[in-house]
């Protein structure tokens, strides 16, 4: 069957929308968050129901169309779109059902973290998501998922209780500790390799008191402050989450005008529970900041904290997992951070440790449990920029310069780095994932991801 007739067949059986290149909606429907990615699928199947997803997958498989699966569309390398294939856009599948007794949420694959957080907040509960409201629950959870609450409650994947999975053969199976435990193991960090998740059951946590916000410092003070954070971070309890970032100062009233758009050091700070004021005092009192915006807040507010930095844009993300912050690392990132290629660039150290380290490296597919930080090196620039190469080089140069500090990688922040990057991320879990891939997706139908081909 030719793709054209396959798509016609899909149109006949579909509850959702099938968007074709000639449709007015095509141009926006084909785009993903990273505007550097410019692919043209044969069609975008906007699935509203499980039956839609089953039908779209069957048509793609029978017609030999490449399959791209989309949740929130935030994959940095743009894996949720394809040139010439079929996008299964699960964005419309936004059902959320909260079970108060079990403290869990059943979550559709199109739900964004901000939506789940808002639904759970009504019951005094919170999911363990990422740092940004607009990111999809699906991709972030399947890849690991480090967020504001991770040191307290683990990675997002550690909070996955069960999943309903559409497999490459077209069956829907359940994965949990009791059912298909091998698949359950692989979904927690294995990305989209093993199947299409149609529903996630996620653990929720009671989060009442929260102290959070941002401290901002002049770059001249950054070396001393970062050294202090390195020391403080090693001893801090799991309730504390401090993420240092070098970024362009916003044109906000609390920033002196001469610093607008210039690199500064920001500490994104969060304390989960009561007792945050004395616990954060050594941090807040160490050096007078340009601004101290830390105060009582809610998890919903924190989820929107980075909204201004999170709009769709051309982007280059490079990252490492590594140990504690060292003097060498501080010198390298400050030297580079002082010379950004664009005001949109960002160097961020996301803390791990705490509950993320309490899980054994082979207990889930997410391997590098000993990491203390994830170093993110991000360059972003306007779509109209005619010389993106210098921004990409800026990120790649710092990535290479910080390689000596690195102990590994994780797939949510991996660029399209091929086999070496993927093997680095999965470490000792790679062989087991490849075996699972042979069982659940022997033809590698789901290969638009940080791909682990089936064991040969």
Ligand X SMILES: Cc1cc2nc3c(=O)[nH]c(=O)nc-3n(C[C@H](O)[C@H](O)[C@H](O)COP(=O)(O)OP(=O)(O)OC[C@H]3O[C@@H](n4cnc5c(N)ncnc54)[C@H](O)[C@@H]3O)c2cc1C
Closer of 195 and 263 to ligand X (Cβ): 195
With beta carbons less than 8 A apart as the criterion, state whether 252 and 261 touch. no
Which is nearest to 200 in space by CA: 130, 58, 95?
Answer: 95
Q: What is the DSSP string of 285-342?
A: TTS--SEE--EE--HHHHHTTTGGG-S-B-EEEEEEEESS--HHHHHHHHHHHTS-SS
Nearer of residues 140 and 265 to ligand X, judged by Cβ:
140
Residue nearest to ligand X (CB): 139
Residue 213 binds to ligand X (criterion: CB under 6 A): no
User: Segment near ligand X (CB under 6 A), from 124-132, 201-209, 289-297, 382-390?
Assistant: 124-132
* Distance separating alpha carbons of residues 258 and 277, to the nearest angstrom: 31
Q: Measure the CA–CA gap between 151 and 353, rounded to whole angstroms.
A: 6
Q: Total number of residues binding ligand X (CB under 6 A)?
A: 35
Among 10, 55, 59, 90, binds ligand X (CB under 6 A): 90
What are the DSSP calls for 69-136, one per residue? EESSS--TT-TT--SSSEEEE-TT---EEEETTTTEEEE-TT-BHHHHHHHHHTTTEEE---S-TTSB
Residue 65 tokens read as 């169309």
Query: Does 41 participate in binding ligand X (rule CB under 6 A)?
Result: no
Residues 295 to 324: which contact ligand X by CB under 6 A? 310
**Binding of residue 190 to ligand X (CB under 6 A):** no
Among 85, 109, 263, 353, binds ligand X (CB under 6 A): 109
Binder of ligand X out of 127, 139, 189, 354 (CB under 6 A): 139
Q: How far is the CB of 314 from ligand X (least distance, A)?
A: 12
The CA distance from 47 to 56, in Å, is 8
Q: Which of 44, 87, 116, 196 binds ligand X (CB under 6 A)?
A: 196
Question: What's CA 195's distance to the chain center, in Å?
Answer: 18
At its nearest, how many Å lie between ligand X and the CB of residue 57?
Answer: 11
- Among 189-197, 247-255, 278-286, 354-362, which window interacts with ligand X (CB under 6 A)? 189-197
Q: Is residue 409 involved in binding ligand X (CB under 6 A)?
A: no
Q: Which residues bind ligand X (CB under 6 A)?
A: 33, 69-76, 79-80, 90, 109, 130-132, 135-136, 138-140, 142-147, 191-192, 196-197, 310, 412, 448-449
């Amino acid at each position: 069957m030719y793709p054209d007739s396959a798509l016609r067949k899909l149109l006949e059986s579909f509850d959702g929308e099938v968007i074709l290149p000639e449709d007015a909606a095509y141009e926006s429907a084909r785009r993903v968050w990273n505007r550097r990615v410019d692919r043209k699928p044969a069609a975008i199947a906007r699935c509203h129901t499980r039956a839609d997803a089953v039908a779209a997958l069957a048509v793609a498989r029978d017609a030999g169309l490449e399959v791209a699966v989309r949740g929130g569309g935030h994959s940095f390398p743009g894996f949720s779109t394809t040139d010439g294939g079929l996008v299964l856009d699960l964005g419309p599948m936004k059902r959320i059902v909260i079970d108060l007794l079990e403290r869990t949420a059943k979550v559709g694959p199109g739900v964004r973290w901000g939506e789940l957080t808002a639904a759970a907040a009504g019951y005094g509960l919170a999911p363990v998501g990422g740092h940004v409201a607009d990111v999809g629950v699906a991709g972030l959870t399947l890849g690991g998922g480090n967020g504001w609450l991770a040191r307290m409650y683990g990675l997002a994947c550690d909070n996955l209780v069960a999943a309903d999975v559409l497999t490459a053969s077209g069956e829907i199976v359940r994965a949990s500790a009791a059912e298909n435990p091998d698949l359950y193991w692989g979904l927690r960090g294995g990305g989209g390799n093993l199947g299409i998740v149609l529903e996630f059951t996620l653990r929720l946590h009671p989060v009442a008191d929260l102290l959070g916000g941002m401290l901002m410092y002049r770059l001249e003070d950054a070396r001393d402050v970062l050294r202090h954070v390195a020391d403080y971070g090693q001893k801090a309890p799991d309730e504390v989450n401090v993420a240092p970032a070098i970024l362009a100062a916003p044109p906000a009233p609390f920033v002196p005008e001469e610093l607008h758009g210039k690199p500064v050091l920001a500490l994104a700070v969060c304390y989960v529970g009561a007792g945050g004021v004395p616990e954060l005092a050594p941090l807040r009192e160490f050096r007078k900041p340009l601004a101290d915006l830390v105060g009582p807040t809610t998890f919903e507010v924190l989820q929107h904290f980075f909204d201004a930095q999170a709009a769709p844009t051309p982007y280059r993300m490079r990252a490492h997992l590594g140990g504690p912050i060292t003097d060498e690392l501080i010198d390298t990132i400050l030297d580079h951070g002082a010379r950004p290629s664009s005001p949109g660039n960002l160097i961020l150290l996301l803390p791990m440790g705490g509950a993320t380290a309490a899980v054994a490296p082979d207990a889930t597919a997410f391997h590098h449990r000993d990491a203390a930080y994830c170093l993110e090196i991000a360059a972003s620039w306007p779509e109209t920029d005619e010389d993106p190469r210098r921004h990409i080089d800026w990120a790649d140069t710092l990535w290479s310069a910080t390689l000596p500090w690195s102990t590994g990688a994780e797939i949510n922040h991996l660029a399209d780095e091929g086999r070496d990057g993927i093997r680095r991320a999965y470490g000792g879990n790679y062989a087991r994932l490849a075996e699972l891939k042979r069982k659940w997706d022997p033809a590698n139908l789901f290969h638009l991801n940080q791909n682990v081909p089936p064991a040969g």
